[in-house]
Amino acid sequence: MTGPLNGLRVVEMGGIGPAPFAGGLLGDLGADVVRIDRLARPGVEPETPPRFDFYNRNKRSIALDLKQPAAVEATLKLVARADALIEGFRPGVMERLGLGPEICLTRNPRLVFARMTGWGQEGPIAREAGHDINYLALTGALHCLGEADRPPSPPLNLVADLGGGAMYLVVGLLAAVIEARQSGRGQTIDVAMIDGVTHLMSAFQAYRQQGSWTEERADNIVDGGAPFYGSYQTKDGKYVAVGAIEPQFYASLLACMGLDPADLPPQNDRASWPATRARFAEVFRTRAREEWVAAAAGRDACLAPVLSIDEAPNHPQMRARDVYASFDGLRHPSPAPRFGRTPAGLRRATPPAGGDSREALSDWGLSPAEISALAAANAMTQA
């Protein structure tokens, strides 16, 4: 293994969304992540073929029937050797399985038990179903996103699931592992997406209380209200994005556009923003996207092309940094961030459920007899 987390052992309870993304990030950075999957059902294909399930690369899969006590006991034996456990079920599910934090921490007092939910472990709607857009809605973030005269627009599922959820889980897990190595005591981490998104909204909460942020969409400095921070259609029907907030960058943008500052209202005159935006839109429609990119090159105008998902890998900057890697015959996002001495890497393609059952159980200390007994009881399968 390579990566700065080489030697870290993580048990991940199989699921979807932000918890697997967090486990995948840990795996990219070198952790030994073993995913506990459900037994594969004969004749039933997974919704996503394993090789396209990028969240579960750099992991191993053990398929266990957690309705059987022998499988629960096997999981607890893995827990006893783990640094951390990740689970993303609704509150109470792990307890019903016999794998709640009290039991796991009794088996391994140094364990970090990381729990991922949308709403949190307690509260009046803690057990209700939801997805990224629902969690985003409750925090006030969704209300800020989109055009002024249209419904709020979801930013894919990047903000709640991955930003407010998975990333906070990784930070919390690593912080607790460091502390456990000093104190000898593990703990439970309650990772709620509504907590993480609210924390991400810190600056906007401050701006609102300061009086510099309104509750109207596309009316503020970084929500598309300011003419110098937004996207514009170009002559060829494509788009450029501008983010020239600072005065010197705004001056460079105007020069790039061929506009005289004396002919425009002051940059931060909010009352004039709609008119200035209309003027900018008119100018940007006079050239194709790549013409604008060429005109802005080297001028600190904070202008970039809005690339499609298929165009992005071919941009010279993306290619120079190898932001994408060829792996298992597919184009994968490369591990991030970059480490100078202990580089992360792509080591394992996503396995099918149970693809590593025997190997991983053996590596984590179960005896051949214990593994054979699990298989004989149909509590474990090897894909």
Residues paired with residue 381 on neighbouring β-strands, in sequence order = 63
Direct distance between the N- and C-terminal alpha carbons of the chain, in angstroms, rounded to an integer: 23
Give the phi and the psi of residue 103 in degrees, each rounded to 5.
Answer: -65, -45
- Which residue is catalytic, options 131, 315, 332, 363? 131
| Cα–Cα dist 217/258, whole Å | 29
Strand pairing report for 324-327 and 9-13: unpaired
As a whole number of angstroms, the distance between CA 344 and CA 328 comes to 17
**Residue at 366: amino acid letter:** L
Rounded to the nearest 10 degrees, the angle between the axes of helix 69-80 and helix 368-376 is 150
Q: How far, in Å, CA of 226 to CA of 243, rounded?
A: 9
Q: Give how far the C-alpha of residue 292 lies from the chain's centroid of Cα atoms, to the nearest Å.
A: 32
Residue 161 known to be catalytic = yes
Widest pairwise Cα distance in the chain: 83
Q: Is 143 a catalytic residue?
A: no
Q: Token pair for residue 212?
A: 């510099």
Structure tokens at 24: 């995948």
Sequence-ordered list of residues with C-beta below 8 angstroms from that of 219, at least 6 positions apart, any chain: 148, 225
The first and second tokens of residue 145, run together, are 């996103």
Q: Which one is catalytic: 53, 132, 161, 195?
A: 161
* Distance in angstroms (rounded) separating the CA atoms of residues 311 and 317: 12
In whole angstroms, give the CA distance from residue 188 to residue 113. Answer: 5
240 three-class SS: strand
Q: What are phi and psi of 7, to 5 degrees?
A: 105, -20
| Residue 97 CB-density burial (10 A; 0-12 exposed, 13-18 middle, 19+ buried) | middle
Place of tokens 């396995």: 351
Cα 194 from chain centre = 14
Which ranges constitute the DSSP H helices of 17-113? 18-28, 69-80, 93-96, 101-107
Q: Which two tokens stand for residue 333?
A: 């996002």
Catalytic residues: 131, 161
